[in-house]
Amino acid sequence: MMVEMGYYNYYNIESRYNVSKPHDRYQEMVDRYKANSDTLHSNNEDPFSDKNIAIRNFEEKLAVVAADNRSKCATAHDVYAYLGKKYFGKDATTYMDRLNADEKTRAMYDNELKATLFGTYQTSNTADPRIDWQAEDWETEETKNKNSNQKIISNQMNNLLTKHGITLDSEDTLLISFNPYDYTATVSGIKDSDTLNKINTLLNSGKNAKELFYYTFKNSGSLNSEAVTKYRAYQNILDLTGQKLNELTLDNGKFYTSDGKEITSLIDAGIEKDNLIPNDFKNVANKYTTDLLKEIAQKGFNSMPDLNLTIGYNNNYGFFSTSNIMYEA
């Protein structure tokens, strides 16, 4: 039986996003790995690692089971009832029923439920005994993932430079810094101004600079907590309301737009209409954003340090962390 692989909101559940056709994350991972992409991506995985191959093999089999489940279940409620009876012996299951189940049963239920409702997207719970993979210790797995990501994104940078006729000398090292508010990148480190201008233009085209910022942020180790709070508050407000935090007026602990609207009302509206935030987490998202705002109000936007990230790049190592990550007041 041939079935489609990938994410799809089969029951049109409101809290989940919709796609026109199944989005196969694993195939996307393979294509990115093989294609010698000249576009930067912050998260890259080796699709041929033991773990990813085991999950893919499992999900190919699970997709058949999920398709059969959908043929029996007309609604999402029917799916929950059917799988509740299959794994826990009753149609209506509670959070405590699932919590009290053994880890393997819970993983099997979770995997089959997700696959039936939303298809397969390379995120199966590896506690499922049907997955033929033995997890390594956390540190080993984390190191392998970081090394793979570094290798792939460095190759993407090399392809970007090569495609546009840019060749670095063996002794050249680029230093790339970022504006955390508009995600622009600034390149320094070599004397050739023409080459620097070309690299600046390439990085600031499309989403290259933004993706490289995310990669640098994730791999920068310990960061100044106030700088991170300021960055996250700015980006959350911008994403949810379209307003720039530094342009709002602070009055008696509250932020107002230029036309006098309190920003919290715009945050509420933004979260409510954001389909990428599941309904169950909208209150959490609201509290998280307003808590960030409270800290900014207490300390003052201009009194808090900016998040300054720097990453290095050369032919020998690809991208590498620098020791001169600084924070400016």
Q: Is the pLDDT of residue 325 over 70?
A: no
Question: pLDDT at position 121, please?
Answer: 84
Q: Is the dihedral of CA 217, 218, 223, 229 positive or negative?
A: positive
Contact residues for 94 (Cβ-Cβ < 8 A; gap 6+): none
pTM here is 0.74
pLDDT tens-digit series, residues 255-273: 999 999 999 999 999 998 8
How far is the C-alpha of 40 from the C-alpha of 37, rounded, in Å? 8
Three-point CA angle 282, 100, 129, nearest 5°:
95
Q: How far is CA 24 from CA 5, 30, 153, 178, 209, in A?
A: 6, 10, 21, 32, 25
Q: Is the pLDDT of residue 306 over 60?
A: yes
pLDDT tens-digit series, residues 216-253: 999 887 899 999 999 999 999 999 999 999 999 999 99
pLDDT tens-digit series, residues 115-174: 999 999 888 888 898 887 766 665 677 788 889 889 999 999 999 999 999 999 989 999
Mean pLDDT of 308-328: 79
